Amino acid sequence: MYEEEHSGAEGVVSPRWRPVSLAPLVEVPCGAADTSCAPRGSLSKKERLNYIDAVYCLANKPGVTPTSEIPGARSRYDDFVGSHMQQTPFVHADGLFLGYHRYYLWQYEKALRNECGYEGAQPYWDWTLSYEDPRTSTVLDGSPYSLGSNGVFVPNRNATTVVIPNGPTLVFPPGTGGGCVYSGPFTPDKFQLHLGPVGYEPQGPGGGFGYNPRCLVRDLSLVFSQHQRPTNVTKLLDGCADLGCFNIELDAPGGVHGSGHFQMGNIALDVFASPSDPLFWLHHAQIDRLWAIWQNQNPQVRTNEVWGTQTAGNCEFLLPYLPKYLEM
């Protein structure tokens, strides 16, 4: 975990899902099958720097995606961003969401290891520890051992309108940043985005698939971070008896998946190009960790349980689970 342990206003985190290594009951829990997902706060500063260096390695290593396929891809890191952009219409708000992102995380971790010499596991970000104000998180405090800071505050901004594939159009008010990340490992002089945006205007060149070099922008939201509180996670883990319920509640309005993206802001709001922010991988490692914990509560049933279709927003499958979220 990338966060130091402390308790929030709601008290100490339940020991049942306190950030510890996952039991190996699920085939690929939160990373490669031969490792467990690393709790980021338990990593030493040296181990944190090793992870950051591996991310730099992918960002500086030439990509393998043909420019005829994704013209803006320049690096191995871009290969992963571009792949997510291509697959987005088929792996969000549907039955492939959790399984695809588990495999996607595993492939990313393997690249960090096999191509960049990283020897640790993929860390996760336990945002329940800083839901009151993510700016206080050791993940986002802007130190050399963090994943960078908030963005520079930009006043008088308009809301951001985001299109969800086969879903609603969402409007996000400005957060507490809005400009380039100003301290830590991913400032403009150390890290650059090349792809996107796709999911909001103005899109990048070629619908977001062209070359669009720019800084990493964050806009941390103290509104959406409130959905990451410990009681919401406990409710998710204890309140769903089947994968359909778990998947929908995780991804519903106010669910911990979307709210994790929304609290980061800017490129993390773009369903297509959100892996451009290195924090994406720690957020989704936490999402995968929660799925693994839920599976391990009843592994004989839940390890191989599937649900839904590969059509984003398929209401035939959503309706039994989401009457409280849908306007009839």
Could you tell me where the beta strands, DSSP code E, fall in the chain?
38-39, 123-124, 151-153, 160-163, 169-172, 178-181
Please give the share of the chain, as a percent, with pLDDT higher than 90.
75
248-252 contacts, C-beta under 8 A, 24 or more apart: 248/318, 248/321, 248/322, 249/321, 250/98, 250/287, 250/290, 250/291, 251/93, 251/97, 252/322, 252/325
- Whole-angstrom Cα distance, residue 321 to residue 244? 7
Q: How confident is the model at residue 320 (pLDDT cuts 50, 70, 90)?
A: low
User: Which single residue is written with the structure tokens 């396929």?
Assistant: 69
pLDDT at 37: 58
Neighbours of 94 (CB within 10 A): 24
pLDDT in tens, 283-306: 999 999 999 999 999 999 999 999
Average pLDDT over the chain, rounded to whole?
86
Range 11-40 average pLDDT? 35
Please indicate whether residue 134 or residue 23 has the higher confidence score (pLDDT): 134
pLDDT at 129 over 70: yes
Rounding to the nearest 10 degrees, give the CA dihedral for residues 289, 293, 298, 302.
Answer: -20
- Whole-angstrom Cα distance, residue 108 to residue 82? 13
Range 45-64 average pLDDT? 97
pLDDT at 191: 98
pLDDT at 259 over 60: yes
pLDDT at 258: 93
Residue 155's contacts (CB-CB under 8 Å, 6 or more residues apart) are: none
Range 302-323 average pLDDT? 74
- Whole-angstrom Cα distance, residue 180 to residue 273? 17
98-102, 207-211, 257-261, 311-315: range with lowest mean pLDDT: 311-315
pLDDT at 86 over 60: yes
Please indicate whether residue 166 or residue 196 has the higher confidence score (pLDDT): 196
pLDDT at 170: 86
Q: What's the farthest any 2 CA atoms get from each other in the chain? A: 54
User: Which single residue is written with the structure tokens 């698939």?
Assistant: 209
Please give the share of the chain, as a percent, with pLDDT higher than 70.
83
